[in-house]
C-alpha cells in the first residue's frame, strides 16, 4: 500500500510544485495529467474486479506492483505532456490493480487466521507511503536540480518497498481467479441484481461528490503553497501532514461508524473535509494550510473505507453492482476535479473558486448521507 498508493498514486502531489517550477508542466496541463492518473485508476479498479487474470491474483499482484515502480521511474523522462499523460494513466491502472488484489489477499489470509479485525492496519500503508515520500522529497528538493531527479528517487523508494512484499506477504497456493469467478457464476448469489433502491442511488451519487470534492486539494495542495513565498515550507510539509493524519484515521472512522451509524459517520467526515478544503484557500497561512492538510488526511481514506462497507450492507443481493457503480462514480469525480481546477486556475489565477466548489460538493455528499440508508 505504501508503494502503490502512497508513492505510485500520490507522490505526484509533492513532486508537482517542482515540475511547475522547472517548467515541466503548467497548472492546466498538471490538472490534465492528474485526471489521466485517476482515469487509469478507475479503469484498473473495474478491470481488477471483473476481468479474468491468468496465473492467479498473487502473480498478477507482483507484476503490477513492480510495474507501478517502473511508471514512477519513467516519469523522470521529460518527453512532453502527452508522455506524462500516458505514464500517469498506466500508473493509475497499476495502482488500482494492486490495491484491489492485495486487499483481497490480505483480507482472505486474515480471515483464515480469524484476525480480520486487524485489516484496518493494512490501510495505514497509504499514510506511511505519503508521509515517507514527503520527507524524502522535502530533503532532496533542496539538493537536486530538477523534478526528474525527484521522480527517480521516488521510483527507487517504491522499488525498495516492493522488494519487501514477497518476504512480508509470501506466495501461497491459490485457486486462479477464473475458477473463483466460475464458481460465483454458478452460485445463486451471482444472479442479476435487483434494481437499485433509492438509498443505493443516494449513496452512489454522494460518493461521486466525495470523489470530486477531495481530489482537488489532494492534487494541488503543494502547488497552492508554492504560489505564496511565505508558504514555501508547506510544499512538502503539507503533504506530510496529510500522510500522518491518514494513519490513525482508518481506526477512528471505523470505530465511530459502529457507534453512530455508517451514514452519519460519512456525513460527519465529509463535513470536516469540506472545512479543510475551504480553509486551504480561505486561510492561506502556514497555520491554515496545516489544519487543512490534517483535516483532509484525517477523513478521505476513512470515507473511502466506511463508504464501501455501507454499500455492502445495503446491497439487496450481489454487492458487486453497487460497489462497481460507486467505484465508477468516485472515479468520474476524481477525473473531472483536477482538470476543472486547472482550467479555473487559468481563468482566475488561483485555486479559490475550484476549492470552494469542491467544498460545496462535499457538503452535498454530507447531506445525502445524513439520513439512514435502507437495504430495502
Tell me, what's the pLDDT at 172? Answer: 78
User: How many Å apart are CA 36 and CA 93, to the nearest integer?
Assistant: 10
Tell me, what's the pLDDT at 100? Answer: 79
Tell me, what's the pLDDT at 13? Answer: 87
Q: How many residues does the chain have?
A: 376
Tell me, what's the pLDDT at 178? Answer: 42
All structural domains of the chain, each given as residue ranges with its CATH number in brackets, are 1-186 (1.20.1250.20), 192-376 (1.20.1250.20)
Q: Which residues contact 198 (CB under 8 A, 6 or more apart)?
A: none
User: How many Å apart are CA 14 and CA 19, to the nearest integer?
Assistant: 10
Tell me, what's the pLDDT at 182? Answer: 40
Tell me, what's the pLDDT at 238? Answer: 85
Q: How far apart are the first and last CA of the chain?
A: 35
Tell me, what's the pLDDT at 320? Answer: 59
Could you list the beta-strand ranges (E) of the chain.
none
Tell me, what's the pLDDT at 179? Answer: 42
Decide: residue 348, CB within 10 A, 0-12 exposed, 13-18 middle, 19+ buried.
exposed
User: How many Å apart are CA 308 and CA 201, to the nearest integer?
Assistant: 14
User: How many Å apart are CA 27 and CA 104, to the nearest integer?
Assistant: 37
**How far, CA to CA in Å, does 236 sit from each of 19, 225, 242?**
13, 9, 10
Tell me, what's the pLDDT at 230? Answer: 81
pLDDT of the chain, 376 residues: tens digit per residue: 999 999 998 899 889 988 988 889 888 899 899 989 989 988 887 787 665 566 778 888 899 999 999 999 999 998 889 999 999 999 999 988 888 788 778 878 887 888 867 777 888 899 999 999 988 988 887 777 789 999 999 999 999 999 999 999 998 765 444 444 444 433 334 444 456 677 778 888 999 999 999 999 988 888 888 777 788 778 778 888 999 999 999 889 988 988 998 889 999 999 999 999 999 999 988 999 999 999 999 999 889 888 877 877 776 555 556 777 787 888 889 889 888 998 898 888 888 999 999 999 999 999 999 887 766 5
Q: Which residues contact 263 (CB under 8 A, 6 or more apart)?
A: 310, 369, 370, 371, 372, 373
Q: Does the predicted TM-score (pTM) go above 0.85?
A: no
Amino acid at each position: 500500500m505504501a508503494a502503490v498508493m502512497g508513492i505510485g498514486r500520490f507522490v505526484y502531489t509533492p513532486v508537482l510544485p517542482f515540475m511547475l517550477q522547472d517548467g515541466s508542466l503548467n497548472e492546466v496541463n498538471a490538472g490534465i495529467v492528474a485526471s489521466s492518473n485517476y482515469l487509469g485508476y478507475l479503469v484498473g479498479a473495474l478491470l481488477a474486479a471483473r476481468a479474468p487474470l491468468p496465473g492467479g491474483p498473487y502473480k498478477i499482484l507482483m507484476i503490477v506492483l513492480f510495474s507501478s515502480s517502473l511508471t514512477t521511474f519513467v516519469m523522470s523522462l521529460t518527453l512532453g505532456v502527452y508522455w506524462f499523460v500516458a505514464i500517469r494513466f498506466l500508473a493509475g491502472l497499476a495502482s488500482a490493480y494492486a490495491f484491489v488484489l492485495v486487499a483481497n489477499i490480505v483480507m482472505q489470509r486474515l480471515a483464515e487466521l480469524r484476525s480480520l479485525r486487524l485489516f484496518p492496519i493494512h490501510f495505514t500503508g497509504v499514510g506511511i507511503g505519503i508521509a515517507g515520500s514527503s520527507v524524502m522529497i522535502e530533503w532532496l528538493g533542496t539538493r537536486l536540480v530538477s523534478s526528474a531527479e525527484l521522480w527517480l528517487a521516488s521510483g527507487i523508494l517504491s522499488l525498495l518497498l516492493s522488494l519487501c512484499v514477497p518476504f512480508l506477504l509470501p506466495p501461497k497456493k491459490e485457486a486462479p481467479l477464473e475458477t473463483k469467478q466460475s464458481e460465483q457464476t454458478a452460485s445463486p448469489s451471482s444472479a442479476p441484481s435487483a434494481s437499485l433502491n433509492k438509498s443505493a442511488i443516494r449513496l452512489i451519487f454522494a460518493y461521486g461528490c466525495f470523489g470530486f470534492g477531495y481530489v482537488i486539494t489532494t492534487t494541488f495542495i503543494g502547488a497552492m503553497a508554492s504560489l505564496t513565498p511565505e508558504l514555501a515550507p508547506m510544499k512538502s510539509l503539507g503533504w506530510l501532514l496529510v500522510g500522518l493524519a491518514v494513519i490513525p484515521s482508518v481506526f477512528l472512522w471505523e470505530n465511530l461508524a459502529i457507534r453512530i451509524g455508517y451514514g452519519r459517520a460519512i456525513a460527519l467526515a465529509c463535513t470536516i473535509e469540506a472545512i479543510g478544503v475551504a480553509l486551504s484557500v480561505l486561510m492561506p497561512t502556514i497555520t491554515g494550510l496545516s489544519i487543512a492538510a490534517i483535516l483532509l488526511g484525517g477523513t478521505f481514506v476513512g470515507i473511502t473505507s466506511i463508504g464501501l462497507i455501507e454499500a455492502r450492507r445495503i446491497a439487496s443481493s450481489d454487492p458487486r453492482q453497487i460497489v462497481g457503480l460507486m467505484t465508477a462514480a468516485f472515479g468520474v469525480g476524481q477525473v473531472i476535479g483536477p482538470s476543472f481546477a486547472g482550467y479555473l486556475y487559468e481563468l482566475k489565477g488561483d485555486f479559490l473558486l475550484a476549492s470552494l466548489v469542491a467544498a460545496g460538493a462535499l457538503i452535498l455528499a454530507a447531506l445525502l448521507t445524513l439520513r439512514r440508508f435502507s437495504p430495502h
